[in-house]
Amino acid sequence: MKKVVLSVLFILLTTALVFAGGGGDKPGTTATAADGFHPSWHASPTVKLGVAITLTGTQSNPGRASERGMELAVEELNAAGGIHGKRIEVVKYDDMGQPAEAIKVITRLIEQDKVHAIWGPLSSNSTMAVGAYVNDAQVPAIGPAVGVVWLRQGWSYYFRATANTFSLVEGAYDLFKKDGIRTIAYFNINEEYGNNSVKDMDSFLDKDNNINVIARELYKDGDTDFTAQCVKIRAANPDAVYMVAWSNDAGQIIRQLRAAGYDKPIYGDNAFTARPVRQIAGDASNNCFFTAVYVLPDTPEEIDSNPSFSGRVINHFLKAYLKKYGELPIEDNAYRAYDGIRVIAKAIENAKSLRGPDIRDAIHAISGFEGNIGIMNYAAFPNGECVAGARGWKMENGKVLPHRQ
């Protein structure tokens, strides 16, 4: 009888230790089943992916591109059997491009829908608004926004699927020096993305006595008339304008700068990759330059003929996108979403777990992962970034061409 009691006590104690190892979300408490999967894997019939993107409002164009890139990635992953045979289930909401709405959406995804990972929100302002909450909730998230500040907050559960603005700014500064620019005017959106890009550029120019800022102009989201700022910039007559603007605004700003009589170089960042920028600006986009990690094809023939699209993943993505949607992407947010979703899937595959800390650690460990952007290497960065550096490009007669690469 004594031996039976001791055996029962041993079994109960062992069971308690196993559940203590797998029940919480604290790092270091992972327990795996005999098949190598964490118990959380068997607790859910699907992998629940939360998506917070902008589908209405002024940023709906990049939001729709992000939606399409996400849809294509999920469709391909599920068609290939999902993740270890488990289907990816998407729970998607419109954050309307507003931080207050993003907070509501992210809260619902985490507390009501119980998602395992998140893609979004779209903008840097919205990401800043939700980042601390996402981090405290221990739900891994990958964001498409390029603003540098939100990954300087020490949040270990947030990641980026593209280059940040610091890389783009550093590339632009390099172009200024190579192109012989001595005076510049800033024209940026009065948001985290624009303001911190200018702040980072100031950090380079403060150490360089050869390039001076002689004018600073701002605009706010929703503005359509930029005449006053353009007239002031024309009066200052800098060697170049450094513009940090939403892609849906950039074309109009270029047109209005030219209409105001400013015919000198205009420099920008990855927002200039969007095809509508060139379509809206027309001939005014000549003598415009920008930094970006990738560009977009104008015709299907370019997918195979242009070396910019020769990478295995980007070449496949563009052909698959064209087949699914009947047109080429017009915004690089489609690239970012496709890469981000595939990173999340790879991390979950490697972790064999749906537990937040395990997925987070698996993302941090990813290296040598090929995306549209090239090789993504989260293991090389301590703060959720995956790549550094950007290339120079120019707009000429409606086309995008390499510039000083």
Cα 363 from Cα 79, distance rounded (Å): 23
- In CATH terms, the superfamily for domain 40-163+310-380 is Response regulator (3.40.50.2300)
Phi then psi for residue 262, to 5 deg, are: -90, 115
Other C-beta atoms closer than 10 Å to the C-beta of 232 total 15
Q: In angstroms, rounded to a whole number, what is the distance separating the alpha carbons of residues 4 and 192?
A: 67
Are 193 and 124 in contact by the 8 Å Cβ rule? The answer is yes
Q: pTM of the full predicted structure?
A: 0.89
Give the Cα separation of 353 and 383 in Å (integer): 22
Cβ neighbours of 19 (radius 10 Å): 12
Which residue intervals of the chain bear CATH 3.40.50.2300? 40-163+310-380, 166-292
Distances (CA, A) of 324 to 71, 291, 329, 371: 10, 29, 11, 19
What class has domain 166-292? alpha beta
Q: Show pLDDT as tens, one digit a residue, over the chain (405 residues).
A: 434 333 433 333 333 333 333 333 444 445 566 789 999 999 999 999 999 999 998 889 999 999 999 999 999 999 999 999 999 999 999 999 999 999 999 999 999 999 999 999 999 999 999 999 999 999 999 999 999 999 999 999 999 999 999 999 999 999 999 999 999 999 999 998 999 999 999 999 999 999 999 999 999 999 999 999 999 999 999 999 999 999 999 999 999 999 999 999 999 999 999 999 999 999 999 999 999 999 999 999 999 999 999 999 999 999 999 999 999 999 999 999 999 999 999 999 999 999 999 999 999 999 999 999 999 999 999 999 999 999 999 999 999 999 987
DSSP string, 285-353: GTTEEEEES----SSTTHHHHSGGG-SHHHHHHHHHHHHHHSS--SSTHHHHHHHHHHHHHHHHHHHT-
